A and B are shown apart, each in its own frame.
Chain A
Amino acid sequence: MNDLIPGARVDGELLYHGQDLYGAGVDPVSVRRWIGMVFQKPNPFPKSIYDNIAWGPRTLGMRKGLDERVERALTQAALWDEVKNRLKRSALALSGGQQQRLCIARALAVEPEVILLDEPASALDPIATSSIEDLIHELKRDYTIVIVTHNMQQAARVADLTAFFSLDVRDDGARTGILVEYDETQKIFTQPGDPRTEGYVTGRFG
């Protein structure tokens, strides 16, 4: 996706099981097979609930036991009980919180190793947010979950490890995203090692 942004440039390596994901010869389809992604705004396909979940497995040729796979993914995403009687109905009729859990179920359906959640609850009300956070708590037993959030309380609540990213602006105006600090969440929110992290988590910006 970074390729879509004009002038975007990536330095260094992003290693996944020792392989650089930005290296030459990496198949994006294969990356998506192992690293699922859920976006800020729930984005179900304009299809039935069932077809949303079945989409990834079908594309990857996982046609055997598809019904069970769909049920398992919806159950893991804590959505099955709410939708099991209307699987053929449009996913767009679900509430925002349900749609987001549907997107999580869709990511789970191909049984990835890692799930990236980009601000998964910022468009949701507190009750839906709470159910997503409880879900993250459940899913972390079986999946590696990476969540991007601007909500520090959310990071504090759900994450075992926290990385604080910020912006470095050079004198000539060039802006670079930098990793300021990465540590156990408990440490970040009780004794951060970097004054910039301390300033950010205590709300003393700039």
Chain B
Amino acid sequence: MLRYVLRRFLTAIPTLFVIVTIAFFLMRVAPGGPFNQEKGLNPVIKANLERIFHLDEPLWRQYVHYLQNLLRGDFGPSYNLPDFTVAELFKSGLPVSLQLGAMALTLALVIGSALGIWAALRQNRLTDYAVVAVATVGSTIPTFVIAPLFQLFFALTLHWFPVGGWGGGAFINKVGPVLTLTLPQLAIVARLMRGSMIESLHAHHIRTARALGLSDYSVVIRHALRGALLPIVSYAGPAAAALLTGSVIVETIFSIPGVGRYFVEAALNRDYTLVMGTVVLIAIFTVLFNLIVDILYAVIDPRVRYD
């Protein structure tokens, strides 16, 4: 197993390299540059700026520079926020996105799975229909609708929570963004879990277990759940990578200082270094969580062997 993990880490390096290369050149194909704006710059001043950020050099040399710096762990300065380096922006924003993402993921997995199991056990009964209905609605209402509704109802009408802001990480400020992030994920997890649980409950070994007179609890939790978990795990991997790296919509609407906004903002601003930094960050998270999914597969399903 250890050798497998090591091998996966090693194969991640060329993957990241390819991603970085494609992103670097794709970004430069986009028209306009970081210093184009409504108030156009004097050409002399623009040339000075481009020289400072080495944007006047041939593209291949900029690429080599970028790779060299990246290998040293240097993401470079942000073009549009020159008071900060990309690393400083991540250092300040990533813990925020990680906290919100982790809380949302945990809630979605725990509550979503529980609801899914509950619905599966009461298939085609009222509870089942209710869960399916809620899950369908939950996964179809976009976050940009949930978030303002939350603000209107819980913040402005009931005054339970603040409308927005991070509040230095106060619990009360996290409720809205976490719930908004959780709801669609929870709905998907519940539906997945219901489906796979129903399938799992019809498996031969479950029938055998019941025939042997095992208790309901034992059948469901110890035997059926194990098989039912596999689709959840494969869904949770990419979902975790997406949640932990932040959401531009939730962060913008709730005025949260996370990193999710940078992907869109930086691309629109042609803040090349920040875009690249975000690409690397998301790529690392995706590779990491895919690996975790594969390891969990082996843990859950004894038939899966990697050595």
A and B: real partners?
A: no
List chain B positions with a Cβ less than 8 A from chain A. Answer: none
List chain A positions with a Cβ less than 8 A from chain B. Answer: none
